[in-house]
Chain A
């Protein structure tokens, strides 16, 4: 799948492959031309990705080839034991979690999981958890707290599932409870938006000591499309909506609503997934080192103070 702004780059890359093949077949020295073309591609990439619109970043955040939660976990753990179920209703497959090991440290990983093909997408419910998904996440977080292991959450959801059963089983209550309980967790909590961060469904696993966003992700109160539908009464104003709501990592950092941006490989996380996984791994370990220096009670106070300071009001 190619996004429209990826096409000119892909075209040049195609040309480059042809040129290299031609050189191989004909023994002609094209090294100068190859070099020039490679330089051209690099420049075009730099220009393209330095000037992405907000809507283009939203598109990147949903790219089907991006690493998903389990890709990261499997990518950087030496061992991972997935744990299932909320002990109440069922196992929600749009929310995954379990203990994993990196460099001999045990970490509780939790995140929304999307699927790549039609079958997987349905299995994962498009990354839209039901209440039992949030309750499973909370169960695993409490378990991590019990065994004094830090928690890392990956946020990647178009929203909590808006279905009938979700309402019957208390979608609102499930998310609300997570918000409240996550503030009181005695272990370090790191939250990372790796794709889409839509509304309460994202926030339900995004209360932590540090909240980061990957460079090409979005995080806001509603998706640009739904915002467009409501405020402009048409789907067509999604680009304006993305700009109006200022949904990108850069925006969220400027508003001090997140703690940092994690750089993606040029062209986006999906172009070099292994590089992305490695970057994230290092970032997690470094952040954990910092957080573990802080006594638990102080960490909790800071977490509460940080979120309590969010918002802009004026006094009349």
Chain B
């Protein structure tokens, strides 16, 4: 439930950028302060060439990372939030949704799609943190549920890329039940023996961690990602002292036994391909290696 907090690290502020570099042409790593040409940074899949710092990216970028030639077919892109509670805090929920949709050009905090990854069919659901903190309401739950149904019907592996502060307060009880709904669908997917890979990216907390994000056959994460159930602020208040450095980092979570491995974004596609290829059943056609399939145009 930490989406409301300002993100401290991240892209440098526009004013800072202006001081040193022309607008938009340079990226300054918040970790090691190395300045990189933005084209170079993009080619590096938004990781710092010097220190490997993984900049937060959105579904559009992840789809480009995963899907061959960025070809994919989006699922249920027409689903949008309703306002079942007539929720008003400092502004009415529908206004908040509309403003966020206009700002982000997204319909909600997750996009789902299917396509091919090095020639392997794959269903992907990827969260967008810039849509109300990647919070999960009915739309997020429903789209993930339908994507899992699609994976079950097609017998395609399912990849979930999580990036969320948790459940969305403005849909209260409905949001809570999305944790149940997505877990139910994953139970059905598991029964079919279809692989489910859960990639946890910075940050993954709250109700998302306590449901689909931790239910992968393979739970994997990007380096340095914040992963937890309770947010660091809440824990700090509970114990009344500062948290040790690296607490709730992907490395910490791996060390405590809740991740299978940490993967650099630049190696993500190949590693997932290798892993899924190993899980192929004997009757399936052998997969072409990544190198040969890259040249072909694959119809998604």
Contact = CB atoms under 8 A, between A and B. Distances in A.
Contacts of B179: 176, 179, 200, 203
Given A307-B184, A313-B139, A220 B176 contact: yes
Interface residues of A, number: 54
Interface string A290-316: 000000000000011001101111111
B178 interface: yes
B169 interface: yes
A167 B173 contact: no
A221 B169 contact: yes
Contact of A169 (B171, B235, B256): B256
B214 interface: yes
Contact of A221 (B183, B207, B229, B257): B207
Contact of A199 (B78, B207, B235): B207
B51 interface: no
A307 B211 CA distance: 14
A245 B169 contact: yes
A163 B169 contact: no
A251 interface: yes
A179 to B, nearest CB: 4
Interface in B221-237: 228-230, 234-235
B200 to A, nearest CB: 10
A113 interface: no
Most buried by A among B88, B142, B230, B235: B230
A167 to B, nearest CB: 5
B78 A316 contact: yes
Contacts, number: 195
B80 A164 contact: no
A222 B1 CA distance: 9
Contacts of A162: 229-230, 234-235, 238
B78 to A, nearest CB: 5
A173 interface: yes
Most buried by B among A171, A172, A199, A313: A172
A160 interface: yes
Contacts of A8: none
A310 B181 contact: yes
A42 B175 CA distance: 39
A176 B145 contact: no
A311 B178 contact: yes
B229 A180 contact: no
B85 interface: yes
Given A163-B235, A307-B184, A170 B167 contact: no
A220 B89 contact: no
Given A167-B248, A230-B4, A307-B184, A244 B176 contact: no
Given A163-B235, A231-B89, A247 B228 contact: no
B210 interface: yes
Interface stretch (B113-121, B185-193, B292-300): B185-193
Contacts of B214: 170, 172-173, 176-177
A199 B257 CA distance: 25
A49 interface: no
Contacts of B177: 203, 257, 307, 310-311
Contacts of B174: 255, 257, 310-312
Interface of B: 1, 4, 78-82, 84-85, 87-90, 107, 137-139, 141-142, 145, 167-169, 171-181, 183-188, 190-191, 206-207, 209-215, 228-230, 234-235, 238-239, 243, 247-248, 256-258
Interface of A: 160-164, 166-173, 175-177, 179-181, 183-184, 199-200, 203-204, 207, 219-222, 226-227, 230-232, 244-247, 251-252, 255, 257, 303-304, 307-308, 310-316
